[in-house]
Amino acid sequence: MNKELIIDIYGRVQGVNFRGNTARTARSLGLKGYTENKSDGRVYIVAQGDTSKLEEFLSWCQKGVFPAKVTGMKYEWKKMKKEYKDFSVKRPKA
């Protein structure tokens, strides 16, 4: 059964390719959704897919990869309202 996971990642997660690595990891797990930087310094993620794959992804998000340093994370399981076609990196609006 597909679910949706909303994740906020805190720490040194902007300017260190965290979104790119997040997207690669999500795609490798067959997840859909998106990731984007927020003005308060956190990274926001919407991920959809199989529960076991989402749990694996959540575990990866807690660690990230160097040079990112995750210091905190909040997440919430949701029912899917909108289904995404792929996993993308949203760019800031100019």
Chain segment 42-84, per-residue pLDDT in tens: 999 999 999 999 999 999 999 888 889 999 999 999 988 899 9
Structural domain harbouring 67: 2-81
* Amino acid symbol at 90: K
pTM as predicted:
0.92
Q: Which residues are catalytic?
A: 19, 37
What is the CATH classification number for the domain harbouring 14? 3.30.70.100
Confidence (pLDDT) at 75: 98
Mean pLDDT of the residues in the chain: 93
Q: What pLDDT band is residue 38 in, cutting at 50, 70 and 90? A: very high
* Helix locations, the chain, DSSP H: 18-28, 51-63
Is residue 88 one of the residues assigned to a domain?
Answer: no
CA distance 18 to 30: 18
Confidence (pLDDT) at 73: 97
Confidence (pLDDT) at 94: 54
Is residue 87 one of the residues assigned to a domain?
Answer: no
DSSP β-bridge partners for residue 5: 47, 77
Is residue 91 one of the residues assigned to a domain?
Answer: no
Q: How many domains does the chain have?
A: 1
Kindly provide the b/e burial profile for residues 12-41, where b requires at least 16 CB atoms within 10 angstroms of the residue's own CB: ebbebebbebbbebbeebebbbbbebeeee
